[in-house]
Amino acid sequence: MKHKVDFNTVEHDPRDPNPWLALYLDQSTPIDPDVKCAWLIDSSSWCRQFGLPIVRPLARLTIIVFQLVKTVLPKAFTSSRLLHRFLSWGLRTFVSPQATWLILRHLHIGSEVLDFIARNTPGTVVPLNPLRPTNLDHIRDELFLKHDLNLFNFVINLNRELKTQNRDVEPPPRLDFDGISEGNFGIEEMPDRWHNYIDLQTAIELFTPAYQIFLTDHDFWRATNSLQLDETIAIYCARILQQPQNMVLLNNKHPIVPESTLRAGYRLVLHGLASEMLYELLVRAKRCQVGL
């Protein structure tokens, strides 16, 4: 993806150091350089600085109001198809190209991480439903809902198979990285007009109440609770890679202690970042195995 800012050419003033330059140059956590650049450009925008502090409390208040509405009218306004049409339009019309690129990329990453676990758990047959969107129109096919369903179905189907065999996830004799495409997802250029200015975090906070009003209360709770499975997926990968030390990169932890839906937007951002770091670990492990 083309970026408007090249952090490698940003000048450093010791009396006024650029915090975004410091984060870009820091190599303490694994993340693709192109992803880090997009993330920091998006995070350093004026919308993120001035818009998010206003949007976040209003969005959480809206979630409370919609929760009350759903209590009285549980089926009112419910339409997953309409939700995804609205999200596709909103992303195309108002959200920054960096944010939309990261969102589409996240769907690819989720599919490839599950594929990696399945490939490296020999003796199990786990059905997969990979999501490969290359443009924002593909979101209309209820991709966000399918993304959540894929995660729960994978955990259920994998562990049912393992339970019948009385075993657990463990490293195979040789790791299979054939499903890791190293970020070559074929995503098209994202819309970049004057009105595409909303950053990733603000967009997620704005769209979370839409999730709640257009989904049933049960579907919304399941979607937010899917974020608790970050630790579960990370444990599977850590066992396969034999790298338990990387569990420290997680923020969404303790899957059997669900959190309030009010923080769903913030936790979704953490989920996206953790997914990127996990994927980068898989990419590096693949390159190491082939000697690159």
Can you give the pLDDT at residue 3?
67
Q: What backbone torsions phi and psi does residue 124 show, to the nearest 5 degrees?
A: -120, 150
Can you give the pLDDT at residue 183?
86
DSSP string, 106-169: HHHHHHHHHHHHHHTSTT-----------SGGGGGGTHHHHHHHHHHHHHHHHHHHHHHTT---
Can you give the pLDDT at residue 256?
86
Can you give the pLDDT at residue 40?
95
pLDDT, tens digit, 9 for 90 and up, residues 107-158: 999 999 999 999 999 999 999 999 999 999 999 999 999 999 999 999 999 9
Can you give the pLDDT at residue 10?
86
Mean pLDDT of the chain: 92
In this prediction, residue 250 has a pLDDT band, given cuts at 50, 70 and 90, of: confident
For the ranges 73-87, 188-202, 234-248, the one whose mean pLDDT is highest: 188-202
Domain borders along the chain are 28-289
Can you give the pLDDT at residue 182?
92
pLDDT, tens digit, 9 for 90 and up, residues 149-162: 999 999 999 999 99
Q: Which of 49, 109, 83, 70 is nearest to 208 (CA)?
A: 83
Region 200-206 average pLDDT: 97
In this prediction, residue 1 has a pLDDT band, given cuts at 50, 70 and 90, of: low
In this prediction, residue 2 has a pLDDT band, given cuts at 50, 70 and 90, of: low
The residues, ordered by sequence, that sit 6+ positions from 88 with a Cβ below 8 Å of its Cβ are 136, 137, 139, 140
Half-sphere exposure of 244 (CA within 13 A, CB side): 2
Residue 39 in tokens: 């993330």
- pLDDT(11) > 70: yes
Furthest-apart CA atoms within the chain: distance in Å: 63
One-letter amino acid at 69 equals V
Can you give the pLDDT at residue 4?
67
Q: Which of 131, 105, 96, 139 is nearest to 31 (CA)?
A: 105
Can you give the pLDDT at residue 197?
96
Can you give the pLDDT at residue 292?
58
Q: By percentage, how much of the chain surpasses pLDDT 70?
A: 98
Can you give the pLDDT at residue 173?
92
Residues pairing with 95 in the sheet: 198
Which uninterrupted H or E stretch holds 61? helix 52-72
